[in-house]
A and B are shown apart, each in its own frame.
Chain A
C-alpha cells in the first residue's frame, strides 16, 4: 500500500506570496493518478487538481500541479486571502484503499 508524505507540515505566508507544496509517494503513482484537495475549517474538501496537473472545474489558474512518478508539487502562484487552508494530496485510480497524505496547512503569517 502506497504511503503519501507531504511537506512541509505547516507554512506561514503572506498574501501575494508564491507557495510550493510537496507530496511524495512511497512507490510510483500509476498513470499520475494524483489529486490535490483544499479544505477550509468547517468545510468539506474541494477537488483542485487531478491527474497531477489538470485543474478541476472552476479552479483558478493560480493553482497548478506538476510531477510524476513519486514526486508531485502543488503551486499557488500568488496567495489570495481565501487560499489559507489545508491541502491534501491523494492517490486514486488503482484498487482501494484510497490514500490521502497527512496534509499541509497554509496559514497567514
Chain B
C-alpha cells in the first residue's frame, strides 16, 4: 500500500519561499497524479495544483499561478511544492494527495494523503 510521507514543519519570514516534499513509498507511483491541498487554521480545504510526471502534466489553481511550482523526482518517488512570496495568509497545513486515476489528466479524486506539513509565516 502506497504511503505518502511529507517533510517537517517550517517557519518562514514574509517574502521568502518554502519547498515542501512528499515521498511515496510502499508501491508504484507510476502514472498517478499527485496534488497539493492546503488548509488554513480553522478553515476548509483548497486545491493548489497537481502533477502527473509520466505525462508531463502540471496544473495550478489560478489563485496560485506564478507563485507555486509543483515538481517531481521520479527516481526517488518524491514530489515537491514550492511557494514563493510568502505572506501571513499562507500559514496553513499543506497536504499532498494521490489522484485515484492513472489517466493523462488530473481526475481530482484523492485516495491517499500525506500527514500534512505545517507552514507558519511570521516575521
Q: Please list the residues of chain A having a beta carbon within 8 angstroms of any beta carbon in chain B.
A: 33, 35, 37, 39, 44-47, 50, 56-57, 88, 90-103
Q: Please list the residues of chain B having a beta carbon within 8 angstroms of any beta carbon in chain A.
A: 35, 37, 44-47, 49-50, 59, 61-62, 95, 97, 100, 105-111, 113-116
Give the chain B neighbours of A45 by CB distance below 8 A.
37, 45, 95, 97, 110, 113
Is A97 touching B62 in the complex (CB atoms < 8 A)? yes
Given A44-B95, A44-B116, check contact A100 B111 (CB 8 Å). no
Give the chain B neighbours of A44 by CB distance below 8 A.
95, 97, 113-116
Give the chain A neighbours of B111 by CB distance below 8 A.
47, 56-57
| Cα–Cα, bound, A96→B106 (Å) | 8
Give the chain A neighbours of B110 by CB distance below 8 A.
45, 47
Is B109 touching A50 in the complex (CB atoms < 8 A)? yes
Is B113 touching A98 in the complex (CB atoms < 8 A)? no
Give the chain A neighbours of B97 by CB distance below 8 A.
44-45
Give the chain B neighbours of A57 by CB distance below 8 A.
111
Give the chain B neighbours of A46 by CB distance below 8 A.
113
Give the chain A neighbours of B107 by CB distance below 8 A.
92-93
Is B47 touching A93 in the complex (CB atoms < 8 A)? no
Is B61 touching A88 in the complex (CB atoms < 8 A)? no
Give the chain B neighbours of A92 by CB distance below 8 A.
107-109
Contacting A88 at CB < 8 Å: which of B45, B50, B95, B116?
A: B45
| Cα–Cα, bound, A103→B40 (Å) | 14
Give the chain B neighbours of A103 by CB distance below 8 A.
44-45
B82 to chain A minimum Cβ distance, whole angstroms, is: 19
Shortest Cβ distance from A103 into B: residue: B44
Given A96-B59, A96-B61, check contact A47 B109 (CB 8 Å). yes
| Cα–Cα, bound, A102→B89 (Å) | 18
Shortest Cβ distance from B45 into A: residue: A100
Given contact pairs A47-B110, A92-B108, A100-B45, a sample of 11 additional A-B residue pairs in the complex whose CB atoms are under 8 Å apart: A35-B109, A45-B45, A47-B100, A95-B105, A96-B49, A96-B50, A97-B47, A97-B61, A98-B106, A98-B108, A100-B47
